[in-house]
Chain A
Amino acid sequence: MAHRCLRVSRTCITLGLFLMVVCLARPSAAAWIDPLTPEERQGRNVYHYGEAGSTDHVGVNLQGVEGALPPTLFRCAGCHGPRGEGTQEGGLRVPPLTPSVLRHAREGPSVGRSRLGYTDAALANAITQGLDPSGHALHPSMPRYHLTSDQVAKVIAYLNRIGEESDIDPGVSADAVTIGAALPLTGPLAQIGQDVAATLRGAVRRLNQQGGIYGRYIELIVEDSRGEPGQTALAVSRLVEIHQVFALVGSFEPAGEGRTRERLAQSHVPWIFPLTPSPQLSDPPNSSIFYALPGFDLQFRSLVDFFVSRTIPLTGTSHPRLALVHRNGPSNAEALRGALEQVRRHGLNLAVNYEYSVGRLAVLALVAQLEQQGVDAVLFMGDGEDLVSVAQELDRRGMSPIVLSAIGMVGAQARAVPSGLHSRIFLAAPIDLPTEREVASLRALSEQASLSSVGFARLAQGAVSLLAEALKQAGRSLSRQAVVHALEGCREQDTGAGFSVTFGEHHRLGRVASKVVGLMPDPPYVSPVSGWMVPEGEP
């Protein structure tokens, strides 16, 4: 006994030293200690996700069908419930698997067929042969699983702990929930990353000052993504696999980065508000990723709808000639797709389609072409600098077509267009611009004198606030699935950051509508000219 105590204390000292080192290296780092043994944790992964690790495959045999069936669709938790409580769906009544039920004999017609209590050997038979302890075949909907004896032992080890307090997802302990964010703390986007990190820390600090959620404090770990796709994937994998975070909030997701999403889908880590201008929505959706705002595709669709609703007052003709001017690149490709979809939907006349690469915009040739084609309106997909060059040349030639773009593309630089064209420029905005008071409160929250990206800071603030709400909804007995379920229940949920979101079982985009704003010469420089517009064709 004394020997054991000595070993424990030595472990504690080693652990303490390790923690000190970690704390010195990374002040925000916290170590989550798994209450399950590694074997039980691996058994839990098989039970919950149908995954036996990255290399081992779980085979499913349902009614003699071999090989073809996907183990993720026949994961134990799907039918027996996340806490082994049993379920009933579609006339299929699935028994609970908690030790108190499994290990005892079942008798009498009121509970179905009688059977003996399950021993470990009987459980192995049930999992791999589809037989109950009395040798009867289980319900035909119960697959037979092809697992190694080692894997079966792990599942059984987990079944001894299922539904207990220790049966928890990574990142959750009795008094803390660990969350993470991958942000560009170094590299060209470092200033934005630092500001977002400061905002997240401020929001988490405020939450903890209010006592946390159900007695649990929130611990935030930030990993440096350096603003590159490959490094972002690595940072996310460090957060999920080493730090074992429960969820991600306001983390960077560079455009076109699919690996990060795949990794998260495998780990079922909820991710609230990835910081991206281009939400990567799929059908069926990646169930754990919750985006905040519409991407450029939806924004440009709303913009085209707006133009169509005001064609005559804006252009003086009911058959305007349109030009598409787009810089190539992934986020512009989405804008282009959205714009073209809506141009087709409304049967608009596309007179010019001009594509250019970064730094290759031939302003004079472009504007000459617009003049020659008698263009009434330009759909512009490029940055603010390019917009200003085009506007200056339009102004010099005395041309004043309507110019339609997105505030997230052209940014504050749009203010530099010649004042004569201000009333001709309309920009889609996925979120109300922040009031001065909101900006001041964000600065106070992040303890920063100025913020390089108020938009991202707001998303970060909203992400923490929404996570807090979901944690409250999910209850003290916390799981990733419960948080995802709580997020799915959000209807016009205020994020505390100047916008609200709505999600659902099939909806992973918090907002679909955009507003259109016009330019003004004086502060606040923009003013809404439309209400919230859901693009035509969206349900």
Chain B
Amino acid sequence: MMFRCVPFAMIVWLCSAHAAPAWSGVTPPSVPDVEVIDQDGLAHRFYGDLVKGNTVVINFIYTTCQSSCPAATGLLSGVYHRLRAAERSVTLLSVTIDPVHDRAARLKAYAAQFGAGKGWYFLTGASADVARLLAALQVSVSNKADHPAIVVIGNDATGTWTRLYGEVSVPMVMDSLEAAAGWPAPISSSVSQ
């Protein structure tokens, strides 16, 4: 009974020691159009304003997390700086899984520590809305500290979606982005590490 409660995504994640793309090329269940608040306190429709027609990278964090979130956000910071250097238009979305405590001001302070600027949103919202978002993106959060380190990469225009788990590196995200965005020339190799 316990086993049946574990979502399929969790099983994939538990079985993967190293980073592995899952549901590659599969359109995820529709991204909900819930209202979210960014680090500047501005409200957005998650799908309508941030995802629709865009190439996006989504991860999940909370600001009081000690180890995995700084690492996961640091990873996105690497991606962000590579994208800016290559002048690629990709939207980065870091969604808090602790919306009650991570309000806009706290997210802003956190975002600033990672050099986040235009095109990188740190998002909070009503607990129920954030829960819907996590469910739709198949991120299982039984408790904060156990949230899986997942990066979701998607191109809404083409419906190409990928999830990365485990030992994710900047080049891996860049490769997935290349595939999702259908960029003509590979950029992961054109920018030296």
Contacts and interface: CB of A to CB of B under 8 A. Distances in A.
Interface of A: 62-65, 68-70, 73-74, 78-79, 87, 89-92, 94, 112, 139-141, 143, 283-284, 505-506
Interface stretch (B20-28, B163-171, B177-185): B163-171
A537 B171 CA distance: 46
A503 to B, nearest CB: 14
Given A63-B75, A90-B149, 14 more contacts: A62-B71, A69-B77, A74-B74, A79-B66, A89-B65, A89-B66, A91-B149, A92-B71, A139-B167, A141-B68, A141-B74, A143-B74, A283-B103, A506-B101
B78 A62 contact: yes
A63 B77 CA distance: 9
B145 interface: yes
B32 interface: no
A70 B113 contact: yes
A63 B169 contact: yes
Contacts of A505: 64, 101
Most buried by A among B71, B72, B75, B168: B71
9 contacts: A63-B78, A63-B169, A64-B78, A64-B170, A90-B148, A90-B149, A141-B67, A284-B109, A505-B101
Nearest to B64: A505
A419 B75 CA distance: 69
Contact of B77 (A68, A89, A141, A506): A68
B168 A140 contact: yes
Given A90-B149, A91-B165, A65 B69 contact: no
Nearest to B146: A90
A246 B4 CA distance: 49
B67 A87 contact: yes
B45 to A, nearest CB: 26
Contact of B66 (A64, A87, A143): A87
Nearest to A68: B115
Interface of A is mostly: loop
Contacts of B91: none
Contact of A65 (B67, B78, B166, B167): B78
A90 B96 CA distance: 13
Contacts of B69: 90
With most chain A CB atoms within 10 A of its CB, the pick from B74, B75, B103 is: B74
A91 B77 contact: no
B169 A91 contact: no
Contacts of A87: 66-67
B75 to A, nearest CB: 6
Nearest to B116: A68
Nearest to A78: B66
Contacts of B115: 68-69
B170 A63 contact: yes
B74 A91 contact: no
Contact of B67 (A62, A78, A112, A283): A78
Given A68-B115, A69-B74, A79 B67 contact: yes
Given A73-B70, A90-B65, A92-B68, A64 B193 contact: yes
A68 to B, nearest CB: 4
B106 interface: yes
A284 B103 CA distance: 10
Contact of B145 (A74, A78, A90): A90
B47 interface: no
A74 B69 CA distance: 10
B81 interface: yes
A140 B64 CA distance: 21
A91 B148 contact: yes
B166 A62 contact: no
B147 interface: yes
B149 A140 contact: no
B13 interface: yes
B105 interface: yes
B101 A63 contact: no
A60 to B, nearest CB: 8
Given A62-B77, A62-B78, A65-B74, A94 B149 contact: no
B77 A283 contact: no
Contacts of A91: 13, 68, 146-149, 165-166
A92 to B, nearest CB: 4
Nearest to B14: A91
B106 A284 contact: yes
A89 B167 contact: no
A91 B167 CA distance: 10
Nearest to A87: B67
A-B pairs with lowest CB-CB distance, top 6:
A90-B68, A141-B71, A68-B115, A79-B67, A62-B74, A92-B68
Contacts of A92: 67-68, 71, 149
A516 B115 CA distance: 47
A89 B13 CA distance: 14
Contacts of A506: 64, 101
Contacts of B81: 65, 68
A104 B144 CA distance: 34
A70 B114 CA distance: 8
Contacts of B70: 73-74, 78
Most chain A beta-carbon neighbours within 10 Å: one of B70, B148, B149: B70
A286 B63 CA distance: 14
